[in-house]
Structure 1
Amino acid sequence: MAKMIAVLLASVLPSALSRLGEAPRNATGPSPEDLLPGGAARRAEYWENATLRWNVDPSLSELQTMRRRAGYDHLATTTRYGDTCCASCGSIDTARLVEGTGFYAVASAESMQDYGIGDGHYCTSDASGHRGTQGMGCLSCAKGKFLPAHPFSYPLWAQPNAGIFRRELKIVVADTCPHSGNEAWCPGHEGHANKFGVKHHFDFANPPAKYDNYYFVWSKIECPRRLKRRYAEMSRC
């Protein structure tokens, strides 16, 4: 009886996790908790000597080829962190900022921002764009697509032809991903790459369904007037 129960649980658990919106994991990959703010996989130490956790196929060169073929200017790694009431771009509410706009709110890496006040992360502008880092400060917008690839050794959650990889997304920067506490993902200075060799990173407040830390190819765009007006009304910057 115990053996039968174990078999039933093994068959039911993966589908249950999928219904809950969580990608299946194996023993070699970081857990969802590891990847959230404050989690172990946010820090560089987690990835030291972790060859089973870190996938180098496709290579960085292959990822850049995929980016060019998709027609975008830049490559980024991605994580998720959850909506917040008081993001660094003027204590803005990330969910309210993008509600009904079709945009996704993100935090961009510290290296992509500059000229902030206070601790340097509040009400930032674009970094200068030197040494291969594209500036993306507060109220910067971009369009792009997720690639069917992530830095981990476990298989993709979504199929390579899934909608999440075909759909073009639009994002707006509402927050900062500071280097401290996110050393593996968010570079602290222009021209520096993260643990995965990529100079850009976006931390999605609330990514689309089937998201699983996929690479993101993107180009900067002008933010629409509607979003600019809402930002001006909500932000303290």
Structure 2
Amino acid sequence: MMLFTLLAVIAAPVMALSGQATTTRYYDGQEGACGCGTSSSSAFSWQLGGSGFYTAAGSQALFGDGTWCGSGCGKCYQLTSTGSAPSGQGTGGDAGQSITVMVTNLCPNQGNAQWCPNVGGTNQYGFEYHFDIMAQSEVFGDNPIVNFEEVTCPGAASSDFGQCQCASM
């Protein structure tokens, strides 16, 4: 019986992270906390949405422990707009629109508590998770609340992430 229980635990699938999150956007062109890119080099070929994929700074619960090379570095998520935004923080955009992002940076709580909660906490709008999307302009709405789920990274994203300092850790 003990062996059967052990095998059942080992065979249990790992659940992908999913839920609801707030979003914002930033653009600085700097190297992120996953060691991807530099201010003097160009962004990943797919980073700014040219192929429908983006990078994002994730709140601590998405990024993982620490402030450099968190366990969430290189993970991809599909974000689908709910069509609404936190009260007074945008228009939300069209419900149902989706994009894929890869976490390549940290949105730390310190200095960003309005949006980026500590692990186990919520931001000012009551959400445990936040994606700060790297984009020069609106991506799919103005600060939409999104439904998100972890997905397999597209080939170009996985290949580009291999160039990041944290990819080998």
**Do both proteins adopt the same fold according to a TM-score greater than 0.5, normalized to the shorter chain?**
yes
5 Å matches for 1:208-219?
208-209=138-139, 211-219=141-149
TM superposition score normalised by structure 2: 0.73
Structure 1: 5+ residue runs without aligned partners? 1-71, 126-136
Contact 1:75 1:215 in 2 (8 A): yes
TM superposition score normalised by structure 1: 0.54
Moved over 6 A (4+): none
Instruction: Say which structure is richer in helix.
Output: 1
Residue 106 of structure 1 and its aligned partner are, at CA, apart by: 0.6
RMSD, matched Cα: 2.5
Structure 2 letter corresponding to 1:141? C
Residue 231 of structure 1 and its aligned partner are, at CA, apart by: 1.0
Of 75, 89, 94, which residue of structure 1 is paired with 2:34? Answer: 89
Q: How many residues align?
A: 144
Residue 184 of structure 1 and its aligned partner are, at CA, apart by: 1.4
Are 2:164 and 1:229 aligned? no
Instruction: Say which structure is richer in strand.
Output: 2
> Cα gap change, 1:210/1:101 in structure 2, threshold over 3 Å: closer, same or farther?
closer
Match of 1:123 in 2: 69
2:79 aligned counterpart, secondary structure: strand
Structure 2: 5+ residue runs without aligned partners? 1-16
User: Highest relative contact order (Cα 8 Å, sep 6+), 1 or 2?
Assistant: 2
1:171 aligned counterpart, secondary structure: strand
Q: CA separation in 2, counterparts of 1:108 and 1:152?
A: 21
Q: CA separation in 2, counterparts of 1:230 and 1:96?
A: 6
Of 173, 179, 191, which residue of structure 1 is paired with 2:103? Answer: 173
Are 2:96 and 1:138 aligned? no
Residue 108 of structure 1 and its aligned partner are, at CA, apart by: 0.4
Q: Percent identity?
A: 28
Larger Rg: 1
Residue 208 of structure 1 and its aligned partner are, at CA, apart by: 3.9
> Cα gap change, 1:154/1:186 in structure 2, threshold over 3 Å: closer, same or farther?
closer
Residue 103 of structure 1 and its aligned partner are, at CA, apart by: 0.8
Residue 157 of structure 1 and its aligned partner are, at CA, apart by: 7.1
Of 129, 135, 156, which residue of structure 2 is paired with 1:200? Answer: 129
Q: CA separation in 1, counterparts of 2:107 and 2:150?
A: 18
Q: CA separation in 1, counterparts of 2:31 and 2:145?
A: 27
